Amino acid sequence: MSSALGRALSVGARGFPAAGAGRRVGEVAARGRGLKTNPHVEEWMGKREISEKTFTFTPKVSLGLLMAIVVFPVVVYGNIKAGMETKDAKEGRKREYF
């Protein structure tokens, strides 16, 4: 295989060299461009890419999900409904609310 063909095959779709085994995406993008990668950001990116494998259900996570899925929407709905009732009472309108 010619060296030009080999180089063409190792270049990705965006023009970055293909990542080798054990190499991170940021290192590949920064190589040869004079960029310095931040190891903490690279570590965070690596953990973020495999979060579905490292996620564990804990009581703290369950409480957060309950707050986000049930409590927050109920509080927002209650505040909106109370505001509509107050406004309608001032204007003398009567209507059915859900």
- pTM comes to 0.49
Residues 6 or more apart whose Cβ sits within 8 Å of residue 36: 30
Question: How many Cβ atoms sit within 10 Å of the Cβ of residue 11?
Answer: 11
Q: What are the structural domain ranges in the chain?
A: 3-54, 56-98
- The token duo for 58 is 């804990």
44 neighbors 51 (Cβ within 8 angstroms)? no
* 55-97 pLDDT, tens digit each: 899 999 999 999 999 999 999 999 999 999 999 999 999 888 7
Helix, strand, coil % (nearest 5) of the chain?
65, 0, 35
> Rounded to a whole number, what is the distance in angstroms from the first to the last CA of the chain?
72
